Amino acid sequence: MGKTNYYYIEKCFFRDEELKTKFWINYNLENLSEDDFNFLVKTYTEHCQNFQSKTLERISLLPIFLNGFYLSKNNPQTFWGKPIINLTLFQSEIFSHGLKFKSILQELRSEPTEEMLDNPEKLIEHYNSTKNISKLVDSKTDGNTMVFGVSNKELNELGFDAKDLSKEAKRKGKSSLSMDELAAL
The structure's pTM equals 0.65
The total number of structural domains in the chain stands at 2
Range of the domain at 32: 3-50
pLDDT band at 101 (very low <50, low <70, confident <90, very high): very high
Quote the longest CA-to-CA distance of the chain.
Answer: 89
Judge if 56 and 46 occupy the same domain: no
Is the same domain home to 45 and 77? no
Q: Is the pLDDT of residue 134 over 90?
A: no
Question: Range with the lowest mean pLDDT among 17-26, 58-67, 91-100?
Answer: 17-26
Is residue 93 within 8 A of residue 99, CB to CB? The reply is: no
* pLDDT for position 10: 83
Q: How confident is the model at residue 136 (pLDDT cuts 50, 70, 90)?
A: low
40 lies in the same domain as 113: no
Query: Once rounded to an integer, what is the mean pLDDT over residues 135-141?
Result: 63
Shared-domain flag, residues 75 and 40: no
Dist CA 137 CA 162 (whole Å): 12
* 106 and 74 assigned to the same domain: yes
Q: In this predicted model, what pLDDT tens digit does every residue of 45-66 receive, in sequence order?
A: 898 888 899 999 999 999 999 9
Distance CA 176, CA 20 (A): 75
- Which of 50, 67, 82 is the last residue in one of the domains? 50
Q: Name, of 68-72, 123-127, 176-180, the range with top average pLDDT.
A: 68-72
**AA letter at 125:** E
